[in-house]
Structure 1
Amino acid sequence: MNSDPVARTNAAPSPLRGILFLIASTVVFSIADVITKQLTSTLPPPEVAWMRYATFALVIIPVMLLKGGPALLRSRRPKLQVLRGLGMVGSSLLFIESLPYLPVADATAIFFVSPILIMALSVLFLGETVGWRRWSAAAVGFIGVMIVVRPGTGAFQFAALLPMMAASSWAVGAVVTRKIVGDHAFTTLAYSALVGTVVLSALLPFNWVTPDATEIGLGLSMGVLFAIGHWFIVLAYRHGNASMIAPFSYVQLIWAGSLGYLVFGSVPDAWTITGAGIIALSGLYTAYRERVRALEKKFPA
């Protein structure tokens, strides 16, 4: 499962390096999602989500303290950081809840409705203007999601609604991120890790299953990969703007399908492949229009 840029920091721009970091993040997140699906076969999803976030916190907090000390925990917009953290942990929990029932490729494809939702919420809460071309692309992307989900047919599963809900929660977090100005990337990552760990820790007593050594090892691996994936995204957006780099996140659809087949023997059907392709094309066109608008603002006619 992918992420949004948490902050931009000063660095010599290198668009190619940014693209490579983002592609690397899609590989890492796909591996983490496959491990997550494996864990949900024996452990409750909230516990698996807690393992992911607790490990993430254990990785990111020491790194943050080494880089900048406790001062990096001081946010200029702490309430927004907490709200963003709630959106992100809600997204992770809902996505993980879907994995016992859906192939990783299907859940990932449905989750990629998030850019459409981010665009819609940006209009409502950020006052952004969206032209008919991007609305049309959003409608096409939603059709792609419906092709994957296939409501009203025998292939429909209510579990398919979980990645859509996860995408909605992610979109809320992403829109809030755009209102957080001035905080360091580590501050945002630390808040995400801490908020997620606290929320999920509160859920643990309700359905705890003691993991064995293998499950603990898988949980630690999943959490470390989750942290690495987020850091790769930070590095990616240091080197280029979102409209140029973001389209490469759709490479994750390829990794999700390939790893799902290699590990679980699940082959995406023609409907999923078609729907995922339409979703990706919609997202690519939306990113293209974002870039056109950015250039028009920079170089007005």
Structure 2
Amino acid sequence: MSVCMAGYGINDAMMKLASADVGFFQALLVRGLFATTMLALIAWRRGALMVSVPRGDRTVLAWRIAGEVGGTYCFLQALFNMPIANATAILQSMPLAVTLAGALFLREPVGWRRYSAILVGFAGVLIIVRPGSEGFNAYSLWALAAVCFIVLRDIMTRRLTASIPSAFVALLTAFFITLMGAVFAPTQEWRPIGGYEIALLGGAACFLITGYTSSVAAMRVGDIGFVSPFRYTILIWAIFSGIVVFGHWPDRWTLIGAAIVVVTGIYTFYRERRLAGR
């Protein structure tokens, strides 16, 4: 899981670097072409390139893809326009939001302890966002919107039957994200892409796929209660790249808010693990 988060974190840093010279949808398109090609090869090797989706799963899969596409769009809007550590820290409230959505929409049992942890965690998000203060960045609202879309993605993922291979779902998602880039890229100025930009976007795709494959391996082989908290190691990569690559030092309120989100998220994992063992 730590390797997974490193892959995602480096992907984010490379995409943010590329955004200085490449348009938003142009970056999505080029990275998507690399990612879709690699995922197609992975799906082909696993025999998941052509899958017959059961009728009952088609609508669920469509909503899952919509959540992934929307989450990608919103998070990259935030990432390209605010410090990487802040955008990443806000996104880490996602497990708390998924737990809350599971209780509200799937009627999953959630006790008062986890509800309390969720409220405290969202308070941590408010500390990071700081609405109404001088440090408020309107693009943080894009990061919050990304959380909502990713919650939709995860809720729909839970409703998919096990007969649909994860590699096929990932390939289909990458295809539609690439399609979004292709459709909207003509609405922006197409900037010349040199070897440096190609290397950044191709590298971002490689690290994105590394994150995906490592996540699947961690969840299949490792104990989910043990490996899940390691998802927060992405904050280490975000803070490190923010300082070293972009010269952004997170302020104390961002660090305090991020710490609250991480602690409450880990506590929620712990409670879910403990209740599952009963």
Q: TM-score, normalised by structure 1?
A: 0.87
Determine if the alignment matches structure 1 residue 97 to structure 2 residue 72: no
In 1, distance between residues paired with 2:49 and 2:128? 45
SS at match of 2:136: coil
1:138 CA displacement:
0.4
Separation of aligned partners in 1, 2:53 and 2:32: 20
Question: Residues 92-141 of structure 1, C-alpha deviation per residue, up to 9 Å, x if partnerless?
Answer: 11111112321111100011121122112212321211111001000111
Amino acid at match of 1:198: L
The residue aligned with 1:152 is: 132
Matched, 1:284 2:266: yes
User: 157-166 or 119-128, which moves further after superposition?
Assistant: 119-128
In the aligned structure 2, how far is the partner of 1:97 from the partner of 1:138?
A: 25
CA apart distance, 1:69: 5.5
* Deviation of the 1:283 alpha carbon: 0.2
CA-CA distance at 1:164 after TM superposition? 0.7
Counterpart of 2:178 in structure 1 is: 197
Alignment-derived partner of residue 86 in structure 1: 66
Provide, for residues 122-175 of structure 1, a one-character-per-residue CA deviation record: whole Å limited to 9, x for no partner.
123212111110010001111111111111111111111111111111110011
* Partners of 2:12 and 2:208 in 1: CA distance: 9
Question: Partner of 1:68: helix, strand, or coil?
Answer: coil
Matched to 1:188, the amino acid is: V
- The one of 185, 192, 197 aligned to 1:215: 197
Give me the identity figure in percent: 30
Distance 1:123 1:208 in 2: 44
- Residues 120-159 of structure 1: pairs in structure 2 closer than 5 A: 120-159=100-139
Aligned counterpart, 1:74:
52
C-alpha distance in 2, partners of 1:180/1:140?
31
Aligned residue for 2:19?
40
Aligned residues: 274
Deviation, 1:82, is 2.4
The correspondence for 1:236, drawn from 218, 227, 230, is: 218
Distance 1:137 1:69 in 2: 39
Distance 2:222 2:60 in 1: 25
- Distance in 1 (CA, whole Å) between partners of 2:187 and 2:59 is 28
SS in 2 for 1:264: coil
1:208 to partner: Cα distance: 4.1
User: Which secondary structure state, in structure 2, belongs to the residue aligned with residue 189 of structure 1?
Assistant: helix
Q: Structure 2 vs 1, CA of residues 184 and 100 (structure 1 numbering), >3 Å: closer, same or farther?
A: closer
CA distance in 1, matches of 2:192, 2:4: 27
Q: Is the 8 A contact 1:123 1:130 kept in 2?
A: yes
Determine the structure 2 residue equivalent to 1:63: 42
* CA–CA separation in structure 1 for the residues paired with 2:79 and 2:49: 36
CA offsets 1:23-79 (integer angstroms, 9 cap, x no match)? 0011111111111111112222222223332221110012211221543x3233233
Across the aligned residues of Structure 1 and Structure 2, the Cα RMSD in angstroms comes to 1.5
The residue aligned with 1:227 is: 209
| 1:117 matched to 2:97 | yes
SS in structure 2 of the partner of residue 136 of structure 1? helix
Q: Please give the alpha-carbon distance, in whole angstroms, between the structure 1 residues aligned to 2:48 and 2:263.
A: 43
Q: Which residue identity does 1:63 align to in structure 2?
A: I
Deviates more, 1:144-153 or 1:189-198: 189-198
TM-score by length of 2: 0.94
> What is residue 87 of structure 2 aligned with on the other side?
107
Which residue pairs with 1:54 in the alignment? 33
Does 1:253 find its partner at 2:253?
A: no
